[in-house]
């Protein structure tokens, strides 16, 4: 029942493959072509009465959020009463189902509030969503420490009937039991109260930490000497300095501004580049304090429930299982990446020597990154006049149709259904089941909207046709759900009959939020295309997942398995067969056109250094969430310095404390390694399952039916071993983690933090 955090990860551009013949491709349909125009044309909001946010009729104004939260809690109390008072066989057998319903109804409001507080342009809506979020998170923490609720589940797990349940039901029950255990349900009253308080503190510190990511950096004073080497043509720096008129000798600039980036890229003055780098990577003391309070609170909570560290507690139900196993994986990666990174650094030293005309090889410093590292080419591997979101989704829909028999179809948006006029909605249509879910797209940056790319699950799939009537047992005894609150009850399940697997499942709803430049709506950078496809990998995991229980549906699986489908989508963009889908003509679908050019990635040393940097970020995350966080003299900056100087290839720079810019420390605390872990697995899946025939329906059905449909309802190591036909992986553990680490990962990891 613990909350699952949304995904915030920008996809990575992977190595390009040589051009080869396209395989048979399903031609574009009318619906596919409609996607292009659907995203391009202006949205005209419908007039009339509001249909409510996500067509939930009670949420037509921000004032409704808190009443809806209160009504949800009242309804939840009613179901809790059913569970803890269950004594009859019928009720006892429904305990897992009812706990899952409890989780689904609470997360349905919490996840909606989470989206709105990060994306809505109106303060009233944001404030209301924050209040509802806080109220329900506090209530969720109380449920997670409810002795009677946990005891009812424990009693059922010990019965013979439990052993007769299908694997998914038993897996779901054990996940709930682990959540209760991690929440300290076995603790005495005072310690349980302490757990709830620490949980609330972690949420508060986390919010402060994330807000701190947006804190402006202190300005930097630049002189004329600092600008040496910068081209005078079209440079705002020269205009500001007014060199020709001799009006100024220095200016103040934002270290995150384009002017500062020009200094890093072009200035021949090393002191100037260092000055900008330090300013970019320095932190305010209060920001460091917030992070350390967050880490300490997590460590205290873990110890309170009987674990050595937060990482030890968090990993117990992941593929990694223990900090020691994760360390084995990271050490395996470091053993491969460090020699490559050091060699790349030597190559860069030669480039710096040539540029500066030096007699000997100089040292490479962190502020040399933009000046001397060629970087990753951002140009698209296909020659098109422009790539719009509509064209990107047109190609994605055609890929889905080839490998899964699924397509995307434009859907009407009712008045009040969305939070901004930029939002678009697509139906996800299965060729046999019909509409299986909806995806909303909020693709453009705007003031007040959270940055980055994010997949939100607003509603999970779960089987609902076997839900029974709540009033059968305790209706006369429960008074929490008054008529007034009942009017606010909104989470009525919307069913669709699935003819393939039986039963009726709640249709999932997902949202993809990005921060594309509105001024370049029809000219996406190639990296933005990769990012959008990455997030669509998450969305399709949510759409295709077909489980009995919502708590294991789609992306609600182990954190170190959830990135596999999304990273795999990045690999598809390296295939000429898939790239041909961007051309909206039937002819382009059958034959690779002359203008399709797939480039080999240039041999940039930056790739190896950046890949090594991300392994160090994962190591830092593990270290921060170890026992060290409880030390009386814990200093996150000192620990950063130690790790960077002992494991990195570039030295720590005095005065920097970039750990407060590492936002994943909150959202993926103690599990940042998951990106690297899933990247290694995705590379293996791509090579063994899809690379030779990326548009194969047989391969797509195999991945859909062996991975996507199960979500977290099947052991992730079992799914990996079966998909890759590697039985040695089935048991997981130390050897399996080391084996995956030995596979390595592509060096082309997107820049997601400073170099280490």
Residues annotated as catalytic are 535
CA distances from 284 to 156, 217, 273, 658, 663 (A): 51, 9, 21, 10, 15
| CA contacts within 13 A on the Cβ side of 98 | 26
- Cβ atoms of residues 708 and 541 within 8 Å: yes
Could you tell me what percentage of the chain is helix, strand and coil, using 3-state DSSP and rounding each to the nearest 5?
A: 55, 5, 40
Burial label for 656, CB within 10 Å (0-12, 13-18, 19+), is buried
Straight-line distance from the first to the last Cα atom of the chain, in angstroms, rounded to the nearest whole number: 36
- Cβ atoms of residues 391 and 582 within 8 Å: yes
**Phi, psi torsion values for 252, nearest 5 degrees:** -105, 130
- Cβ atoms of residues 442 and 119 within 8 Å: yes
**Phi, psi torsion values for 121, nearest 5 degrees:** -75, -10
Here the tokens at position 103 are 């989780």
- Cβ atoms of residues 617 and 438 within 8 Å: no
Q: State the residue for tokens 């569970």.
A: 83
* DSSP run (H or E) holding 206: helix 189-212
Here the tokens at position 113 are 């509030």
Helix axes 270-281, 258-266, angle to 10 degrees: 140
Here the tokens at position 362 are 């100089």
- The strand pair at 509-516 and 434-444 is best described as parallel
Residue 610, Ramachandran bin (φ over 0: left; ψ between -120 and 50: alpha; else beta) = alpha
Alpha helix ranges (H) inside 595-635: 605-624
Q: State the residue for tokens 């305010």.
A: 284
Q: State the sign of the Cα–Cα–Cα–Cα dihedral 46, 48, 51, 52.
A: positive
Dump the DSSP string for 678-734: HHHHHHHHIIIIITT-TT-HHHHHHHHHHTGGGTTSS-HHHHHHHHHT-GGGTT-HH
Residue 257 DSSP label: S
SS (H, E, C) 368-410: HHHHHCCCCCCCCCCCCCCCCHHHHHHHHHHHHHHHCCEEEEE
> Which residues, other chains included, contact 541 with Cβ-Cβ below 8 Å and sequence gap of 6+?
554, 555, 562, 565, 566, 708, 711
Query: Rounded to whole angstroms, how far apart are CA atoms 439 and 457?
Result: 9
Query: Rounded to whole angstroms, how far apart are CA atoms 452 and 441?
Result: 14
């Amino acid at each position: 029942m613990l909350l699952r955090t949304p995904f915030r990860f920008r996809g990575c551009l992977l190595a390009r493959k040589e051009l080869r013949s396209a395989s048979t491709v399903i031609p574009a349909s009318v619906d596919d072509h409609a996607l292009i125009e659907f995203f391009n044309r202006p949205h005209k909001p419908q007039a009339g009465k509001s249909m409510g946010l996500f067509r939930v009729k009670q949420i037509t104004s921000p004032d409704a959020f808190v009443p809806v939260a209160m009504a949800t809690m009242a309804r939840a109390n009613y179901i809790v009463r059913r569970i803890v008072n269950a004594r009859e066989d019928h009720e006892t057998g429904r305990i897992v189902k009812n706990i899952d319903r409890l989780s689904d109804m609470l997360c349905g409001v919490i996840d909606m509030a989470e989206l709105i507080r990060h994306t809505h342009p109106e303060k009233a809506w944001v404030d209301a969503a924050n209040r509802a979020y806080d109220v329900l998170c506090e209530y969720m923490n109380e449920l997670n420490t409810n002795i009677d609720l946990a005891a009812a589940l424990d009693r059922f797990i010990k019965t013979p009937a439990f052993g007769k349940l299908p694997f998914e039901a038993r897996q779901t029950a054990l996940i709930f039991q682990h959540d209760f255990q991690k929440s300290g349900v076995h603790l005495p009253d005072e310690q349980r109260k302490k757990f709830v308080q620490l949980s609330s503190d972690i949420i508060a510190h986390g919010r402060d930490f994330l807000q701190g990511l947006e804190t402006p950096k202190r300005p930097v004073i630049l002189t004329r000497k600092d600008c040496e080497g910068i081209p005078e043509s079209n440079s705002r720096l020269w205009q500001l300095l007014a060199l020709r008129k001799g009006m100024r000798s220095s200016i103040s600039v934002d270290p995150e501004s384009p002017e500062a980036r020009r200094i890093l890229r072009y200035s021949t003055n090393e002191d100037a580049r260092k000055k900008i780098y330090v300013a970019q990577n320095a932190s305010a003391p209060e920001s460091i304090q917030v992070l350390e309070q967050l880490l300490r609170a997590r460590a205290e909570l873990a110890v309170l429930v009987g674990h050595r560290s937060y990482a030890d507690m968090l990993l117990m139900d992941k593929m990694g299982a223990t900090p020691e196993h994760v360390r084995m994986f990271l050490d395996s990666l470091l053993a491969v990446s460090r020699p490559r990174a050091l060699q790349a650094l030597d190559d860069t030293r030669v480039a710096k020597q040539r540029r500066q005309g030096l007699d000997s090889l100089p040292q490479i410093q962190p502020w040399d990154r933009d000046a001397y590292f060629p970087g990753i080419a951002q140009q698209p591997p296909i020659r098109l006049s422009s790539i719009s979101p509509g064209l990107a989704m047109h190609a994605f829909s055609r890929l889905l149709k080839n490998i899964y028999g699924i397509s995307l179809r434009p859907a009407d948006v009712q008045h009040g259904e969305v939070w901004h006029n930029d939002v678009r909605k697509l139906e996800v249509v299965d060729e046999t089941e019909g509409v299986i879910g909806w995806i909303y797209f909020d693709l453009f940056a705007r003031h007040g909207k959270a940055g980055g790319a994010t997949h939100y699950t607003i509603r999970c799939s779960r089987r609902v046709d076997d839900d029974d009537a709540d009033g059968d047992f305790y209706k006369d005894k429960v008074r929490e759900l008054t008529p007034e609150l009942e009017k606010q009850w909104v989470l009525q399940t919307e069913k669709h009959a699935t003819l393939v697997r039986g039963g009726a499942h709640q249709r999932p709803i997902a949202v993809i939020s990005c921060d594309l430049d509105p001024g370049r709506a029809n000219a996406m950078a190639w990296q933005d295309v990769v990012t959008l496809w990455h997030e669509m990998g998450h969305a399709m995991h949510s759409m295709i997942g077909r489980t009995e229980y919502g708590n294991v549906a789609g992306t609600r699986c182990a954190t170190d398995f959830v990135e596999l489908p999304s990273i795999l989508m990045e690999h598809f963009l390296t295939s000429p067969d898939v790239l041909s889908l961007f051309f909206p003509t039937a002819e382009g679908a059958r034959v690779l056109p002359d203008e399709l050019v797939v480039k080999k990635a240039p041999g940039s040393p930056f790739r190896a250094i950046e890949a090594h940097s991300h392994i160090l970020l994962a190591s830092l995350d593990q270290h921060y969430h170890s026992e060290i966080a409880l030390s009386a003299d814990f200093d996150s900056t000192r620990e950063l310095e130690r790790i960077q100087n002992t494991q990195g290839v570039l030295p720590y720079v005095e005065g920097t404390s970039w750990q407060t810019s590492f936002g994943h420390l909150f959202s993926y605390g103690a599990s940042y390694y998951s990106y690297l872990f899933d990247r290694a697995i995705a590379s293996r899946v791509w090579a063994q399952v899809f690379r030779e025939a990326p548009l194969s329906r047989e391969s797509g059905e195999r991945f859909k039916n062996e991975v996507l449909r199960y979500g977290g309802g099947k052991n992730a190591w079992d799914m990996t071993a079966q998909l890759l036909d590697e039985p040695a992986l089935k048991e997981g553990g130390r050897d399996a983690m080391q084996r995956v680490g030995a596979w390595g990962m592509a060096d082309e990891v997107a820049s997601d933090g400073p170099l280490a």
